[in-house]
């Protein structure tokens, strides 16, 4: 992900999440040097991800596929790539948080061998009140 991707990434993000990251969140991720990626298919940007690599840990901060193109293997492709990047960096574990109501996310991570290791109560804003995060981890 480069600075010139920020417009489409933040626009796509608004169409994917009810509580999206802002353009500034993505810009800050680039400034912080987080490992940030976009997937292009036939020249069209279709998915993106942000990974924080610290010591021997990888933290998946964002993984998103454009709404119209979900459930076609792009999320899996991207997650596979991120695991390879993390391994190359020397990470031994990947961690992430996912909304407890996010069935697609939970199933994706289950399928990829992530284990549910904890719950952060009221972690996310929700349409009504707050929502818990499920913390997941996978050995790389
Ligand atoms: C979660 C997300 C990244 C998955 O990417 P994707 O390209 O749609 O997923 P894939 O096609 O690679 O699917 C892989 C597996 O994930 C699970 N999955 C994906 N979408 C699903 C859905 N709508 N319902 C149930 N399971 C789903 C399935 O187990 C699927 O395997 P299968 O098709 O063999 O059953 C994508 O749906 C997305 O961007 N969602 C909105 C943003 C989001 O929630 N990101 C994760 C935040 S933690």
| pLDDT tens figures, 22-36 | 999 999 999 999 999
* 87-140 tens-digit pLDDT: 999 999 999 999 999 999 999 999 999 999 999 999 999 999 999 999 999 999
Number of structural domains (the chain) is: 1
pTM greater than 0.85 (yes/no): yes
Instruction: Give yes or no for residue 41 CB within 6 A of ligand 1.
Output: no
> Concatenated DSSP letters for 85-98?
HHHHHT--EEEEEE
CATH number at residue 24: 3.40.630.30
Going by alpha carbons, the residue nearest to atom 31 of ligand 1 is: 108
Counting beta carbons within 10 angstroms of the beta carbon of residue 124, is it exposed (0 to 12), middle (13 to 18) or buried (19 or more)?
middle
Q: By the 8 A CB rule, do 61 and 51 touch?
A: yes
Instruction: Give yes or no for residue 98 CB within 6 A of ligand 1.
Output: yes
- Range of 51's domain? 3-139
Q: Which residues are catalytic?
A: 97, 109
């Amino acid at each position: 992900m480069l600075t010139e991707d920020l417009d489409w990434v933040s626009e796509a993000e608004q169409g994917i999440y009810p509580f999206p990251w802002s353009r500034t969140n993505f810009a800050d991720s680039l400034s912080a040097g987080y490992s940030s990626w976009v997937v292009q298919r036939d020249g069209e940007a279709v998915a993106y991800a942000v990974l924080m690599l610290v010591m021997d840990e990888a933290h998946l901060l964002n993984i998103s596929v454009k709404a119209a193109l979900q459930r076609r293997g792009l999320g899996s492709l991207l997650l596979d790539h991120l695991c390879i990047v993390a391994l190359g960096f020397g990470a031994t574990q990947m961690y992430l948080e996912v909304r407890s109501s996010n069935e697609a996310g939970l199933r994706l991570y289950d399928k990829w061998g992530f284990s549910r290791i904890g719950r952060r109560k009221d972690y996310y804003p929700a349409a009504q009140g707050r929502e818990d995060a499920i913390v997941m981890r996978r050995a790389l």
